[in-house]
Amino acid sequence: MARQSPKWPTAERKAHLVKLWAMYGNRCLHGHTACPNPNHYVHHKPKAVTVAKAVHLPCVDRQGNPIRDREGNQVYLTLYRPTPTIVHEATVCRLYDVKSEQVIADWQADDRAQRQAEAKVEQRAIHGLAERGAVRGRFSAIGRDIFFGQQPQYYLEGLGISGLTFKPFAKVRLASSYVNLFVDIGDTLRGLSKSKKRKAIRYGKALPPKVQEAVDEVCNKAVRHYLR
């Protein structure tokens, strides 16, 4: 999956950061200009971490009776369970650093929500494609044969590079099924430039007609072999 560049550093947002710098500049965390107190530049930032917490459980036998040592004291089993907690990490920074980090975090949250909304719209558009499916009413015998005869055997969902063999493959979904096949397409992409290969694999750009025909031929053979 291609790594997306951050959306938050737009021109308007950069201008807002400049305004923040004009307001806070090199001020300490207490708002003093050229503050001589170094403690005023220490910021305790909360951080979520996981620590091991000891839990003592009494030992019992199969009948549920407590197990005791030679002196008659209850024997306990100590387990260490991962427990989330918040610690405060001391960092040296200025008031502008704190204010800008808060604003950028809000912008990143807004961009993340926007990307999720765009992904939902895209998924709805994909699932709303006019893919051949069932129609209303009843089929006649001839109509049923014509309908199923026009159905494609598979749908090409994308291309990728195998992490084991470092060779290109095609991901296909069988029609009217949740079965996905990963087909080794061999050297069908050899004639393409690196840029076109990257665009086809990462961004789903269309392949040249001859290359697409070669990929389709390999996928057809693989699907027919699977459906035997």
pLDDT at 2 over 80: no
The rounded distance, in Å, linking the Cα atoms of 110 and 186 is: 42
Nearest-5° Cα angle at 13, 10 to 14: 85
Mean pLDDT of the chain: 82
Can you give the pLDDT at residue 134? 47
Return the CA Rg of the chain: 31
CA quadruple 182, 187, 190, 192: dihedral sign: negative
Residue 3: band (very low, low, confident or very high) from pLDDT cuts 50, 70, 90: very low
pLDDT at 76 over 50: yes
pLDDT at 147 over 70: no
Mean pLDDT along residues 93-106: 90
How far apart, in Å, are the Cα atoms of 71 and each of 57, 67, 74, 75? 19, 11, 9, 10
Tens of pLDDT, residue by residue over 105-140, are 888 888 888 888 878 877 776 666 554 444 455 556
